[in-house]
């Protein structure tokens, strides 16, 4: 099941996060109303979670053999080997970025022992006041680590009680978290960056719905892959309409309080059904467009997107001190020079650090699991 053409979308999502953090005042990303699309970083993180669930289903969910009498014969994930693979995938460059940020501001951070402990243990998203501590993009890895922990048990649940049961649980959780998010966001107790804010936006339990949706869509996609039919023209029309719809919703969102009388946010999976429809259509596409997205250079950018995402903060500090200030880079060009530097660094990280570290950890761990 070739899915290389999905990989580049990870780069686009990571790029959106970088623009949100560092390019918001740079043309053309600062122009209304399209700035809401260019700066959709928080929604891009939600896309990561949906895509992650989808890919995890493709990789780890075993299809029931038609000759079997029960899905219980499907083999559960070998938990030790699985967790080792996930640890090797995310932790080396995560720890590198964390230590770069910590020691770059050691005088300020040396008292932040609690923050350092929570970040090292990938628990910062669980505690108010700490999700954005030290290397701020790391909060989403704290959430992702929780998903990785849950995955073997979610798949085992699907094997034993049926995927329909897991689908029902997923729908209930998605509806409940969307309702809770909207209710708390509009409550009098809500203020930017208080404990309630941290719970709404960063707590893993508020994002599990997106991963679950991705997982369920991935399971059904894998089971029905050969039955899905593709048409190049209809696929392109559907993808185009989906992109227009999502972009329109992003541009309309700032006006929701006037239109509906309440604040409505997309950061916790409200757009996940649309994102997953996009993923399914693109995943089943085998047209020339998919072949373009599967070009090795674009796939490389997608593979390096994790380093791009997690290294963006320490990379910006390095860029400011060693490039922007000494060379007096003009402000209108500065973000683009930084972006070129970050992309180059992320590819180097993927090739020279992330991949070798992952292979080394898995090689060592496979002796014991």
* Contact (Cβ atoms closer than 8 angstroms) between residue 115 and residue 121: no
Instruction: Quote the Cα angle for 40-42-43, to 5°.
Output: 65
Check residue 129 and give its pLDDT: 92
Q: How confident is the model at residue 36 (pLDDT cuts 50, 70, 90)?
A: confident
Distance of alpha carbon 272 from the chain centroid: 12
Check residue 67 and give its pLDDT: 46
Q: How confident is the model at residue 73 (pLDDT cuts 50, 70, 90)?
A: low
Q: How confident is the model at residue 213 (pLDDT cuts 50, 70, 90)?
A: very high
Closest CA to 357 of 97, 92, 96: 92
* Contact (Cβ atoms closer than 8 angstroms) between residue 139 and residue 125: yes
pLDDT one-digit tens code per residue, 9-21: 999 999 999 999 9
Q: For the residues 183-206, what does the mean pLDDT come to?
A: 93
The boundaries of the domain holding residue 136 are 4-365
How far apart are alpha carbons 283 and 275 in whole angstroms? 12
Q: For the residues 68-75, what does the mean pLDDT come to?
A: 56
Q: Which two tokens stand for residue 13?
A: 């999502």
Burial of 75 (0-12, 13-18, 19+ CB in 10 A): exposed
Q: Does residue 72 surpass a pLDDT of 60?
A: no
Check residue 65 and give its pLDDT: 61
| Residue % of the chain over a pLDDT of 70 | 94
Q: For the residues 42-56, what does the mean pLDDT come to?
A: 96
pTM (2 decimals)?
0.92
Which of the residue ranges 99-113, 197-211, 253-267 would you say has the lowest mean pLDDT?
99-113
* Number of structural domains the chain divides into: 1
Check residue 111 and give its pLDDT: 63
Q: Does residue 223 surpass a pLDDT of 70?
A: yes
Closest CA to 217 of 56, 3, 79: 56
How far apart are alpha carbons 250 and 63 in whole angstroms? 37
pLDDT one-digit tens code per residue, 116-142: 999 999 999 999 999 999 999 999 999
Q: For the residues 179-199, what does the mean pLDDT come to?
A: 92
Q: How confident is the model at residue 64 (pLDDT cuts 50, 70, 90)?
A: low
Long-range contacts of 231-237 (CB under 8 A, 24+ apart): 232/285, 232/287, 232/288, 232/289, 235/281, 235/284, 235/285, 235/287, 235/289, 236/287, 236/289
Better pLDDT: 68 or 279:
279
pLDDT one-digit tens code per residue, 305-355: 999 999 999 999 999 999 999 999 998 899 999 999 999 999 999 999 999
pLDDT one-digit tens code per residue, 146-186: 999 999 999 999 999 999 999 999 999 999 999 999 999 99
Q: How confident is the model at residue 71 (pLDDT cuts 50, 70, 90)?
A: very low
Check residue 192 and give its pLDDT: 84
Q: Does residue 66 surpass a pLDDT of 50?
A: no
Better pLDDT: 286 or 337:
337
Which of the residue ranges 70-74, 220-224, 340-344 would you say has the lowest mean pLDDT?
70-74
């Amino acid at each position: 099941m070739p899915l290389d053409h999905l990989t580049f979308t990870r780069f686009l999502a990571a790029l959106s996060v970088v623009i949100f953090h560092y390019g918001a005042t740079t043309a053309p990303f600062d122009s209304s109303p399209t700035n809401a699309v260019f700066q959709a970083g928080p929604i891009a993180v939600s896309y990561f979670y949906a895509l992650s669930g989808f890919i995890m289903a493709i990789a780890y969910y075993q299809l029931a053999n038609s000759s079997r009498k029960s899905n219980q014969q499907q083999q559960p994930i070998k938990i030790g080997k699985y967790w080792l693979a996930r640890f090797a995938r995310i932790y080396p460059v995560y720890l590198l970025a964390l230590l770069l940020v910590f020691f770059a501001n050691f005088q300020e951070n040396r008292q932040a022992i609690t923050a350092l402990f929570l970040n090292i243990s990938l628990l910062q998203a669980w505690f108010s006041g700490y999700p954005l501590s030290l290397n701020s993009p790391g909060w989403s890895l704290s959430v992702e680590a929780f998903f990785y922990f849950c995955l073997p048990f979610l798949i085992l649940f699907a094997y034993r009680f049926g995927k329909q049961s897991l689908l029902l649980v997923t729908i209930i959780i998605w509806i409940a978290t969307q309702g809770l998010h909207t209710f708390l966001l509009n409550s009098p107790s809500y203020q930017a960056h208080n404990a309630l804010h941290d719970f709404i936006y960063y707590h893993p339990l508020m994002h599990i719905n997106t991963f679950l949706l991705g997982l369920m869509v991935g399971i059904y996609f894998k089971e029905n892959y050969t039955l899905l039919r593709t048409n190049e023209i209809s696929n392109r029309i559907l993808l185009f309409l989906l992109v227009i719809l999502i972009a329109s919703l992003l541009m309309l969102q700032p006006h929701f309080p006037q239109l509906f009388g309440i604040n409505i946010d997309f950061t916790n999976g409200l757009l996940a059904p649309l994102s997953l429809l996009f993923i399914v259509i693109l995943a089943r596409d085998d047209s020339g467009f998919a072949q373009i997205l599967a070009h090795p250079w674009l796939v490389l950018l997608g593979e390096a997107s994790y380093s791009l995402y997690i290294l963006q903060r320490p990379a910006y500090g390095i860029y400011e001190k060693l490039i922007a200030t000494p060379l007096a880079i003009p402000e209108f060009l500065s973000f683009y020079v930084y972006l070129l530097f970050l992309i180059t660094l992320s590819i180097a990280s993927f090739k020279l650090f992330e991949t070798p570290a992952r292979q080394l950890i898995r090689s060592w761990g496979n002796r014991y699991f």
